[in-house]
Amino acid sequence: MVIILGIDPGSRITGYGVIRQQGRQLIYLGSGCIRTQADDLPTRLQRIYAGVTEIITQYRPDSFAIEQVFMAKNADSALKLGQARGVAILAAVNNQLPVFEYAARQVKQSVVGTGAAEKKQVQHMVCSILKLLSHPQADAADALAIAITHCHFNQNLARIGEPELSLAKRRLR
């Protein structure tokens, strides 16, 4: 049983999603958004850090997965996004969580089956995979998708490692 915290960072709205992986089954634990007011950037960053720390304390995840920065059209927006990611990652590291990063296209490919998927498609598949009765907010759905992606990559890595492990055991006998 592994608990994963997924984060969709943003300087105004940071989405979070928490799931538990039990074997091949994914169980929804919670999701939501950390909203910052129109305060100055340092105050918003402090709110993101405090919010992520609070979520970590509440759910006690084993892994932390976050979306990588993409190239934004506006350099100022990309810098603010990078700073929001930084404080979220700092909260994870300060709580001794391993940090995993995934590109937006990787997340869409993992959850929907195509890296060019639209937000509504991601929301729909998140609901389907986690058996949710209603759509979470867009940023929370993205965070859940990031957590789901981490589970998919984790399962694939485990499968890749299994034959090597069994081969290594045979050599020791």
Q: Which residues are known to be catalytic?
A: 8, 67, 139
Question: How far apart are the C-alpha atoms of 104 and 30, rounded to whole Å?
Answer: 21
Q: How far apart are CA 105 and CA 150, in angstroms?
A: 13
Tokens of 101: 């990063």
Contact criterion met (CB below 8 Å) for 94 and 64: no
Residue 78: partners with Cβ closer than 8 Å, 6 or more residues away: 69, 71, 72
Distance, CA of 20 to CA of 1 (rounded, Å): 7
Residue 116, burial from CB neighbour count under 10 angstroms (0-12, 13-18, 19+): exposed
Residue 92 is encoded by which pair of tokens?
């994870």
Picking from 138, 152, 110, the residue whose alpha carbon sits closest to that of residue 13 is 138
Determine contact, residues 88/48, Cβ cutoff 8 Å.
yes
